[in-house]
Amino acid sequence: MIRPNFSFLQVSILAVFFGVLLNSCSARVQILPEPVVEQTLFRSGPICPGAIFCSAGKPGSLNFKGILLNKSGEKPIFLEYYMSSFEESFPIGISMKLDQTWHNLRKTSTDYGDTVRVVSILPVDVADKLLSAKEVQFSFSSRDNTSTFTLSSSNTDNLKSLLKDLKEKLDAQAKLTITNH
């Protein structure tokens, strides 16, 4: 029952107020934009030429990194080389000798920390030549000197296996699509 001292105007204002309050508290679906995954990263295990124990990021270790760039669908592969931060001066780059031909790899980045990581792009044609090479040598150059080391046949086979596995995983990865349902 409405008390006699409430007017029709007061009752209608209260009804509108509660109607707006209830409507604003309803469980409506909110539309929120989703972030687009720009890239997917793949990283191979390490290989440490001349070392008994090997772990990722250890000075003297090598590994491959592959990236699926979702916007363009490109799948570049990189070679990462780690060294002690006290070992070398300013790093210049990495070269790779496959059988009798040297290939200079374009350096894309250098990260400094407990170890220095030099990242160079591995072009598709060089990656294909690496998979069929019988002899593999790496050369690292800094401002002060150049260090060259030849991989043993077991290290060469291991390196080829790491690259092959990375390429298979990278090629199997499809470009991501985001759908709204």
Question: How confident is the prediction along the chain (181 residues), in pLDDT tens digits per residue?
Answer: 555 566 777 777 767 666 655 555 444 444 444 455 778 888 998 998 877 788 888 888 899 999 888 888 899 999 999 887 665 577 778 899 999 999 999 989 888 888 889 999 999 999 999 999 999 998 888 888 888 889 899 999 999 999 999 999 888 887 766 665 5
The answer to the question of residue 16 being in a domain is: no
Residue 146 belongs to a domain: yes
Is the pTM here over 0.85, yes or no?
Answer: no
Structural domains of the chain, count: 1
Cα–Cα distance, 99 to 104 (Å, whole number): 14
Decide if 110 is inside a domain.
yes
CA angle at 47 for the pair 46 and 48, rounded to the nearest 5°: 120
User: Which pLDDT score, from 0 to 100, does residue 30 have?
Assistant: 46
Amino acid letter at 103? H
Host domain of residue 140? 29-179
Residue 119 located in a structural domain? yes
Q: Tell me, what's the pLDDT at 32? A: 46
**So what's the pLDDT on residue 58?**
86
Residue 62 lies in a domain: yes
Per the domain annotation, does 149 fall within a domain? yes
**Domain assignment present for 4:** no
**115 Rama sector, left if φ>0, alpha if ψ -120 to 50, beta otherwise:** beta
Whether the Cβ atoms of residue 131 and residue 163 lie closer than 8 Å to each other: yes
Residue 6 included in any domain: no
